[in-house]
Amino acid sequence: MKSAIFLLGAGVMLTVCAQDVPVNIPGVAVYSTRVANQSPVGTFAMPVSVLRFEPRLDIAARNLAEAQADVTIRGGIFENTGFRLGAVSVFDPQTGHYLAEIPVAPPMLGAPEILTGVDHALHAANSTVGAVAYGWRPIRSGGSLALAAGQYGLNRQEIYQGWLSDARVGGQRLGADVAWARSESNGSVPFGEQDFDRINARVQLAGATAQTDLFAGYQAKFFGWPNLYTPFNSNETENLQTQLFALNHRAELGGGDFVEAGAWYRRNKDDYAFNRFAPVGPVHPFQHTTWAQGAAVGGRKTAGDLAVNFRGEVLADELKSTSLTAGRFLSRTLSKLSLVPEKTWTPVLGERVVVKAGAGFDDGNRGGGKVSPIVEIARERPSSALKRIHFSFAQTTQVPTYTALNSSAVAGLFRGNANLGRETSRNLELGASFALAGWSGQAAVFYRRDDALVDWTFRRGVTARAANAVDIDTTGVELVARRAWSAVDLVLGYTALTKNAGYRGAVVDASFYALNYARHRLTAAITGRLGGGFEVRMDNVARIQADNLLRVIGGDSTVTSSLGLVYRPRVWRGVEFSAMADNLWDDRFQEVPAVPAARRQISLGASYAW
């Protein structure tokens, strides 16, 4: 029994092979094979959408995940997670709450890859636990149109169009694509409305071994939610406008070797209202604009049984704010260099032993630099059931965001600390990948030590949250397994975590982030092909969360599901009708402590792909 999924973008063909019988499904957009439902119910699809039920990371959403989502990997916090777009690390210097503000239509991107351990230390910058990496998808001629309506006044519209011309520049074909999307809703709770817009354009040169992309994108989001960031029973709003420009080039050199380089610019404007009904003067109390840009080059080059993995990146940022004014600086420059030589032995036919040993160096103009070791030894047997087993140690570092550094330490809703320093994380792990009895997957056991991690904490009697440095030991188990039958695809994930934290003398009654984690988390993505053009898709996550006194509704255990029913009339090629439900069981579990859960929402949609 075999299964393969070819991801060619919105509006083109998905081919699924089960029991050696290919099934062609026109017009299916697949952004990740690890989840069942590729699009959300409450708005249009964003890069963060397919991460909601991703087995190897967790999301704590406010309103919709697409409104505001804290993305965490292996029990880290929202600011420990990095995002890569092609060659570059895209980040927000103000707060990790905006890391996922990536205004790119998913049809332009490949499936997200979760980087941890050595891969993360080598291939990402200014994040300590892990990173989500997206590549630029090749353009194909074709497009799609999608419409949906649902509960709470929801309506959404999306259109994507790609063109691949016969024109050639330097031997490469010229292509272009554009995308536009919008949605609005009254929200599943009072004062929880949303109004989103996004527009994208891209030009691409692509050949057999190289691809160059030039991208421009803009996204505007307004949304409200009670207790959005504070536990003080206030109706809060966010108004975000994000611009992103990116240039990326990747060349495949053969045998797994490559070189990739890129540059980017991002501007994010944020107007946050703690009380949406308070009189607003000429200057809003929480208004911020950040500018961030950077460039990176990396790759791999082999010579015989030796190889060199390399990467260099520079990042620069600037902040303008009406409230983040108590710190020591409003701009900075960061850099990272990684060099990891690699040697391969072949002790017996069909087996390889690969040793990587090198280091990364993080530096900046607002503090000292740090050298971090990166080491891995792996045994690979591609033809056996246990395909790969590895043991690794990797250290990573990052600097705090401006909200932590520049908020007043003695007044306001958010209490900062200008003396917070560089955060350091050390990850030790044993991992494996396997293929057995029709199943394939990967597993890891890890121990991580985070020093001076910046957490936001709560203390009884203080009407504010405070940024405090914490040292945390995290031990975890991670497992992902998948199997495909003729009519069913199944992806299972399991993560178990334990933590031991010390807040360096600070008085802490509760933690919003570092100690808000799932002690046990199980995911199941199920796709069933029912015949006659019908398909059912279901994503599920069951969790037992660590106790938290701020979580006053919904308890510490929950099962959350998303259900989709799809019908593709065979007489209307490219047409798809869908019915979807998020939070199927209408569970009230608070993903972020003290933040109300979104209620169950149902929508009906139709799409046409050409």
Kindly report, residue by residue over 248-282, the tens digit of the pLDDT: 999 999 999 999 999 999 999 999 999 999 887 76
**Amino acid 21: pLDDT:** 34
The least confident of 45-49, 233-237, 477-481, 549-553 is 549-553
pLDDT per residue as tens digits for the range 300-346: 999 999 999 999 999 999 999 999 999 999 999 999 999 999 999 99
CB 5 within 8 A of CB 29: no
Q: Is 577 inside any structural domain? A: no
Q: Which amino acid is at 275?
A: N
User: Looking at residue 29, what is its pLDDT?
Assistant: 63
Q: Is residue 503 part of a domain?
A: yes
Per DSSP, 138 falls in state P
What's the one-letter identity of residue 71? V
Q: Is residue 496 part of a domain?
A: yes
Given a cut of 50, whether residue 17 has pLDDT beyond it is: no
Specify the pLDDT at position 336: 98
User: CA quadruple 30, 31, 34, 35: dihedral positive or negative?
Assistant: negative
Provide mean pLDDT across the span 68-88.
97
Confidence of residue 464 (pLDDT cuts 50, 70, 90): confident
Note whether residue 385 is domain-resident: yes
- Exposed e or buried b per residue across 92-115, where buried means at least 16 C-beta atoms within 10 angstroms of its C-beta: bbbbbbbbbbbbbbbbbbbbbebb
Paired tokens of 115: 């980087």
Cβ count within 10 A of residue 284: 14
Residue 127's CB is within 10 A of a number of other CB atoms, namely 28
Cα dihedral value 401, 407, 410, 412, nearest 10: -130
In the numeric block, the tokens 């964003």 are attached to 46
Task: Evaluate whether residue 199 is within a structural domain.
Answer: yes
- Render pLDDT for 379-428 as a digit per residue (tens, 0 to 9): 999 999 999 999 999 999 999 999 999 999 999 999 999 999 999 999 99
Indicate if the pLDDT at residue 41 is higher than 90.
yes
The verdict on residue 578 lying in a domain is: no
Distance CA 27, CA 64 (A): 26
Q: Is 70 exceeded by the pLDDT of residue 5?
A: no
What does the alpha-carbon distance between residue 208 and residue 587 come to, in Å, rounded to a whole number? 49
Tell me the β-bridge partners of 155.
149, 184
Read off the pLDDT of residues 107-118 as tens digits, 9 standing for 90 and up: 999 999 999 999
Which residue is it, tokens 């040993």? Answer: 357
Q: What are phi and psi of 597, to 5 degrees?
A: -75, 150
Name the 3-class secondary structure at 404.
helix
Q: Is the pLDDT of residue 582 over 50?
A: yes
408 within domain boundaries:
yes
Q: pLDDT, tens digit, for every residue of 528-540? A: 999 999 999 999 9
pLDDT value at 18 more than 80: no
The count of domains in the chain is 1
Kindly tell me the burial class for residue 412, based on how many C-beta atoms sit within 10 Å of its own C-beta (0-12, 13-18, 19 or more): middle
Residue 352 in this model has a pLDDT that exceeds 60:
yes
What CATH number has the domain bearing residue 188?
2.40.170.20
Alpha carbon dihedral 495, 78, 599, 590, in 10-degree steps, equals 70
Q: Which residue, chain included where needed, has tokens 């039958």?
A: 485
Cα separation of 234 and 417, whole Å? 25
Residue 440 falls within a domain, yes or no? yes
Residue range of the domain that includes 138: 14-532+539-570+595-609
